[in-house]
Structure 1
């Protein structure tokens, strides 16, 4: 009897790590790649700055935080601020019925 041949496997396709963006579009001036995020992991602070309109945002950061996370937080904070600054409406609207004016022809 002869030796059995080992089944040969094709090597798994290598998964290339796609780097995440580190520069982003500004929400306020709409310039592409003008927003950068600086991470100070030891200090636990991340700073986002637009180099065109000088908009700034600062947030907490840890060892798992990435620049895209800070950019997403900035978008959420800007949306929340915009909702708070909008025109204020009464929480309950009450319609007061008005009787038709009989003098008007």
Structure 2
């Protein structure tokens, strides 16, 4: 089997590239085609805003940036804020809420004991840091 003759092939033109989108889905209100991105390359600023819920975002761009880049920066920034808020929340572990610091029972006075461990008046609950490891 041989190759086809070059004379039977027709010349192909350049491939047509689809333009990158400039309208996206909003992360907060989930409306499609609600977020528009505008690039000001002279000022080096990309602006994004949702016409439904009013969310706005602005970031720095360079001469290679496109609207997709501004949208992805917005997604990354929203994920980072959600991650920070999740780390600050107490988590459930074994049916108990684990907070960053142990909390005292309400309406109890902290009394120093002779053995240098702290006990609360009333029920004698030990609030020594060594017990919480």
Shorter-chain TM-score: what band? Answer: 0.7 to 0.9
Alignment pair present for 1:29 and 2:36: no
Any unmatched runs of 5+ in structure 1?
Answer: 1-6, 98-105
RMSD over aligned CA atoms reads: 2.4
Higher relative CO (Cα under 8 Å, sequence separation at least 6) belongs to: 1
Alignment pair present for 1:66 and 2:69: no
Secondary structure at the residue paired with 2:52? coil
Q: How does 1:15-94 map to 2 (within 5 A)?
A: 15-86=15-86, 87=89, 90=100
TM-score, length of structure 2 as denominator length? 0.59
Secondary structure at the residue paired with 2:43? coil
State the alpha-carbon separation in 2 of the partners of residues 83 and 60 from structure 1. 22
Count of residue correspondences: 89
* Displacement over 6 Å in runs of 4+: none
Of structures 1 and 2, the larger Rg is shown by: 2
TM-score, length of structure 1 as denominator length? 0.74
Please give the per-residue CA displacement for 1:24-62, whole angstroms capped at 9, x wherever unaligned. 000000000000011000000000000110101100011
State the alpha-carbon separation in 2 of the partners of residues 18 and 95 from structure 1. 63
State the alpha-carbon separation in 2 of the partners of residues 85 and 73 from structure 1. 19
Distance 1:13 1:52, change over 3 A: same
State the alpha-carbon separation in 2 of the partners of residues 60 and 81 from structure 1. 18
Alignment pair present for 1:12 and 2:12: yes
